[in-house]
With several copies, the nearest count.
Chain A
């Protein structure tokens, strides 16, 4: 993993985001305040504005810089949470120089841990944590499993993200703006969970295709 690759992935995410923007916007309009897409867009734009600077940094520094950039650009609930994700990832020893899935899994787990500390939400609160926590758990598990191809692993992570995202649909929210709705939030997928699922899907897909093309 290099800083260039991080930027490449963010560009892929940005593309995927635009393709799904109106769907996600509808979700935040249904149970939030309708700004989630705008917030995320602002964050991605801010990162790509410092693309050159990021390219010159070591991965851990780039991740930190991305975290700070998101923190100062997204705002809302999503800002500190996505920022924490990147800052948490940068914390893992060895994240500067990573060649194997185990390090990446550790980084992901560290990122999710910091998000959880910041947001104080857990599985079942109808937030992005319903995607992040199960995916992180599964990831840590799978990297210890032998005889699993990289693509199989990525496929399982994508499926888990999808499951987590869908699990937010039929429950009431107990964290975030949707919690004000009580029972009325039921029936709507959480926008932050959808965002995370989309991001995970895009990254996995990118890695699968990249593996193939090599």
Chain B
């Protein structure tokens, strides 16, 4: 394992400290329990948006703390959900009297830890569960779909709406709505290596790929021989469209997300493949986002996310945002 680290046990603390130093204009780091909050208090009565999850997906979620998006993020250990004390302390630190909305990716661990935080927290709170990963079949007999790259879209949209002053219940409703409009699927070429584990999470042959991979290197739908970018894209986009069933000429946000180890050049090439596939399917790309936003450490691979746009989502997507990883309009 070759990594920029000093000591496996200090990776998270040192990385968070660096993150805080690099962005001291917009955020503050709290250690023990670990959380990241905005540097400036937001408006009185504003709903607080709090997300969190295992580390190793950076910039998710800490990179989205700031005006127009999250109020706080709770980073767990690498690929391990954070613990309730983090969510409780973060909620108390950013509370403005508007209540707390937890944005949680659907994993047993995240769910249970946020659930316990929700029960133990003395502040009114609700939870939006993100489960955009169509690689996993959704059934009441399983854990259901995972939350992946679509999470940051939920955070952006609800973040903007919360800034505009809507209520906790409305935030929850909007978050659920965006989640329903959003679907993702990914593919991995290589594994990643969790620093504390010291070796790759999974083995994969030099000519194989994992279709439908999770963002923790969890195995996906199937393992296949590598194919061309166009063929891979067709697989992903078609599965997504089957789920979202957009109307003819529906407008979407197309997000091509790198898992950390894939060059930007290839992500834009994928975007081009996806654009061709969407055109064939009479879906119109109105907004786009390409880059490493929801990563799996240094895993090579990428995911495609579509979010069906309505006026409300479009408005809140375009509104100003000022975070470490996403910034426009200000």
Contacts and interface: CB of A to CB of B under 8 A. Distances in A.
Given A38-B196, A79-B109, A80-B113, A177 B218 contact: yes
Given A35-B196, A75-B82, A176-B143, A42 B112 contact: no
Q: Most chain-B Cβ atoms within 10 A of its Cβ — which of A34, A80, A118, A177?
A: A34
B33 to A, nearest CB: 7
A119 B77 contact: no
B278 to A, nearest CB: 26
B160 to A, nearest CB: 30
Q: Interface SS of chain A: helix, strand, loop or mixed?
A: helix
B79 A35 contact: yes
B19 interface: no
B112 A35 contact: no
A112 B136 CA distance: 29
A37 to B, nearest CB: 8
A71 interface: yes
Nearest to B139: A174
Given A29-B202, A71-B83, A175-B108, A79 B217 contact: no
Given A35-B197, A38-B197, A176 B219 contact: no
B38 interface: no
B84 interface: yes
Given A33-B201, A34-B197, A79-B113, A180 B214 contact: yes
A198 B136 CA distance: 31
Interface string A68-86: 0001111111111101000
A34 B112 contact: no
Given A33-B217, A76-B80, A180 B146 contact: yes
Given A71-B83, A179-B142, A33 B216 contact: yes
Contacts of B201: 29, 33-34
Contacts of B204: none
Shortest 6 CB-CB contacts between residues of A and residues of B: A77-B109, A80-B112, A33-B216, A76-B109, A75-B80, A77-B108
A96 to B, nearest CB: 23
Interface in A178-204: 179-182, 184
B79 A33 contact: yes
Contacts of A81: 112
A35 B113 contact: no
Interface of A: 25, 29, 31-35, 38-39, 42, 71-81, 83, 118-119, 174-177, 179-182, 184
- Interface of B (DSSP majority class): loop
Range, interface on chain B: 35 or more
Nearest to B216: A33
15 contacts: A35-B194, A38-B197, A72-B83, A75-B76, A75-B83, A75-B113, A76-B109, A79-B81, A79-B113, A80-B115, A83-B116, A119-B112, A175-B142, A177-B108, A179-B143
Contacts of B108: 77, 119, 175-177
A76 B81 contact: yes
B78 interface: yes
A35 B199 CA distance: 11
B85 interface: yes
Nearest to A176: B108
B112 A75 contact: no
A22 B217 CA distance: 19
B54 to A, nearest CB: 8
B31 to A, nearest CB: 14
A76 to B, nearest CB: 4
Contact of B218 (A33, A79, A83, A118): A33
Nearest to B142: A179
Contacts of B217: 33-34
Interface string B102-143: 000001110011011000000000000000000111000111
Contact of B83 (A29, A74, A175, A179): A74
A78 B109 CA distance: 7
Given A35-B197, A75-B81, A118-B115, 14 more contacts: A33-B216, A33-B217, A34-B79, A35-B78, A38-B197, A42-B77, A73-B83, A76-B80, A76-B81, A77-B81, A79-B81, A80-B115, A179-B143, A180-B135
